[in-house]
Amino acid sequence: MSWRGTGVALDTLLPGTTRELLVGGSSVVLARVGPLVFAVDGVCPHLGGVLGEGSLSGRRLSCPVHGAVFDVGSGAVLVDPFGVVPPGGSLGTLVVYPTRVVAGLIEVDVP
């Protein structure tokens, strides 16, 4: 993996918001939760919903297509598309990418 710039300034990603972008050819969603910035795969592993169009509540990111809910910090499935709370269900976790801020700009460590 290697650190890649996103072109997103930390100050422009407000707490409680997300931003979808391409980083190194990968669809990534940046999510700001308080002072922390998380980066996860931008595509829902269920049926390919665009997670950047979902809603963020705390660390909970909901897919806009079928309502799966993921933890943006760990990628864990909190609720699968059928409303099953893990460990039931069969939906895979989201890929989570490390983030850092350099000179006020967010960077993501992606393959």
**Total count of domains within the chain:** 1
pLDDT tens track for 19-31:
999 998 889 999 9
Q: Is the pLDDT of residue 1 over 70?
A: no
Beta bridge partners of 97: 39
The parent domain of residue 101 ranges over: 2-110
Task: Return d(Cα 38, Cα 59) in angstroms, integer.
Answer: 9
Domain with 66 in it: what CATH number? 2.102.10.10
Q: Burial of 10 by CB count in 10 Å (0-12 exposed, 13-18 middle, 19+ buried)? A: middle
pTM: 0.91
**Pick from 2, 33, 5, 6: which is nearest to 18 by CA?**
33
- Whole-angstrom distance between the N-terminal and C-terminal Cα of the chain? 4
